[in-house]
A and B are shown apart, each in its own frame.
Chain A
Amino acid sequence: MSELKIQNLVKNFQGMDRPAVNNVNLDINSGQLVAFLGPSGCGKTTILKMITGLFQPDNGNITLDNESLLPIPTEKRGVVMVFQNYLLFPYMNVNENVGFALKMKGVDKKTIDERVKEMLDLVKLPDIGLRKPKQLSGGQQQRVALARALIASPRLLLLDEPLSNLDAHLRDEMRELILTIQQKLNVTTIFVTHDQEEAVLLADKIALIFDGELQNYTSPKNYYEKPKNIKAAKFFGGVNFVKADFTDNKIQSEIGFCEYEGDNISNLNKKLFLTIRPENIKISKNTEFDHNSYQGEITSVIFSGTHTRYKINVNNVNLECSLQSVGIDNIKESDKVFIHLPKDKIWGMND
């Protein structure tokens, strides 16, 4: 169990007009599973490589259990990385691949054999020890790569896009396996992904990174309900953004006065944006709601099976609402409706 702290981390590369990683700060508690989420080229893997020691930061510090990792060479950090393309040594069989880290430590053959067996059992591949990597499927290669990392009993496990090369059905299986193993071994784990669904399903906390900067670092639930800014909200499917002014503890938005219960009210600027998930907006054709009730016109109706998506124009602001298809009123395009943004579901952001 290890606690990782990243402080003011900066990394520049020649030829880039911005830092690859710009002043990133975050703390990861022992045993947590954290996702670094962001689009390609945003600096996620660069941070991972600085944690392993494969890149040296230009500024900042990385500590593991209050000890700076920077002066420690990669091979002695106890930080093991599983690469995106598995990188099983093609000239070794599965047993040799999995036992690699112990062989490098000079552990005796008998112990290596026992531990290899244990690890292959853990990843549910007990009978493939003598096969060569090219005789394995993508999913099997990923499991072997995971076993090879875990045999080293890492203080910190880093997974670079662990599911990106797998088919959809293998992804679910592998996701389940990573989660089970991580909980069983309680190893502090960071994984990199550009897939928000994957991050939400796996991670205790998500660090959202854009252009080398940490945008938000919080639980998956908060990204949906309490995003830090518009970028973070949009990455998680947020579509409703309403400009507002915050004066005298009251919020006046471009669609009207707004009652607000968010716990960040003391941190809000004078100018802000309000957001609400499409599934939290309520619609009624006839009844006005008791608070945050606004009148608008339906501009489009898109039926998508279990849910129906409505686009509503409210005071020249476009909002989207998603309702379960079963049991709703017959609402059509051009209908005038009342919409309700519940005060406990609406969230204010400074930018």
Chain B
Amino acid sequence: MGGERLKIILSLTPPLLIIITLFFGGIFYGFLQSLGYQPAIGKYELNFSAYYNVMFSERYAKLFWSGLALNLWVSFASTFLAAVFALFGALAIRKTFIGKTLCNFIYSLNLPMPHLVVAVGMIFVFSQSGLLARLAAQIGMISSPGDFPVLVKDKYGFGIILAYIWKEAAFFFIILMSVLQSLGENFEELAQSLGANRWQRFRYVILPLVMPNLFSASIIVFAFSFGAYEVPALLGVIYPQMLPVMAFEFFLNPDLNARSEGMALSIIIALIVMILVVFYFWLTQAKIRKD
């Protein structure tokens, strides 16, 4: 019994040490910095002025709130659209047909691709100097590539949303395919024999069955896209700017005092994501209790 317990403790210790060191050593120290604690420049006092500055000061408030709105819009839109595309893709591809393996491969291809590469790919394809713009100009659809709609580096974040859809749809797709394959088609066949048409089978059978997995995957994708830096940095504009880019710019500021604002912004991003995750767990636990 004692040996078993020791074995468990020994096997849990290394990952726990890493988590604790990172959390308390990194994030906790970052949190202290966001409260103004910076011994390197002689600041030891703890206060919330960096948070106040970021959210309410005349200098940063507009940037912050417009950035937060853009963050929420981009994360919600890209998560929702990626999930929708993946769901319809998975529903179409799960049936047996010639070329299924190829379709499966193409759909999953983006998964191992780094976000940075996807962002650069977006510029190559969708920017006003990109392939599509030049092709449209060549075939006379538009008079010059400059007339191509602004899809990359636009203030509504379309380019960023497109990049996330392109990338995250593969993640949703793989999860949905495994769920749909494990469910089989019996529930749908049953519903069909009970009189459900195609739409009703989707609405009352497929959607409720895949929803728990789809929702979990959505939380992961939303949390990632809310806090990720590289895609908005490459495909975003200066104003409005997504919060992770804004936070990083605070860090790049030669004025070391700005680090507190940068850290406060990072903590706010982390808090929003954490609230979302806690809400998700509360919802799932409530559902389990209800069941």
Interfacial residues, chain A to chain B (CB-CB below 8 A): 49, 52-54, 74-77, 79-81, 83, 85, 87, 89-91, 100-101, 103-105, 132, 134, 148-149, 152, 158
Contact = CB atoms under 8 A, between A and B. Distances in A.
Contacts of B291: 132, 134
A148 B194 contact: yes
A100 B192 contact: no
Nearest to A102: B195
B190 A75 contact: no
Given A100-B194, A104-B195, A152-B194, 5 more contacts: A53-B192, A54-B189, A54-B192, A87-B186, A100-B196
| Interface of chain B: mostly helix, strand, loop or mixed | helix
Interface of B: 186-187, 189-197, 200, 204-205, 208-209, 291
Contacts of B205: 89
Contacts of A52: 189, 192-193
| Interface of chain A: mostly helix, strand, loop or mixed | mixed
Contacts of B186: 83, 85, 87
Contacts of B208: 89, 91
A154 to B, nearest CB: 9
A75 B209 contact: no
Nearest to B212: A91
B11 to A, nearest CB: 33
Q: Which of A76, A77, A79, A91 has the most chain B CB atoms inside 10 A of its CB?
A: A91
Nearest to A84: B186
A89 B187 contact: yes
A91 B206 CA distance: 11
Contacts of A134: 291
A75 B196 contact: yes
B190 A87 contact: yes
B193 A80 contact: yes
7 cross-chain pairs, A with B, having the tightest CB-CB distances, nearest first = A101-B194, A104-B195, A74-B192, A91-B208, A81-B193, A104-B196, A87-B190
Contacts of B189: 49, 52, 54, 74, 81, 83
A49 B193 CA distance: 10
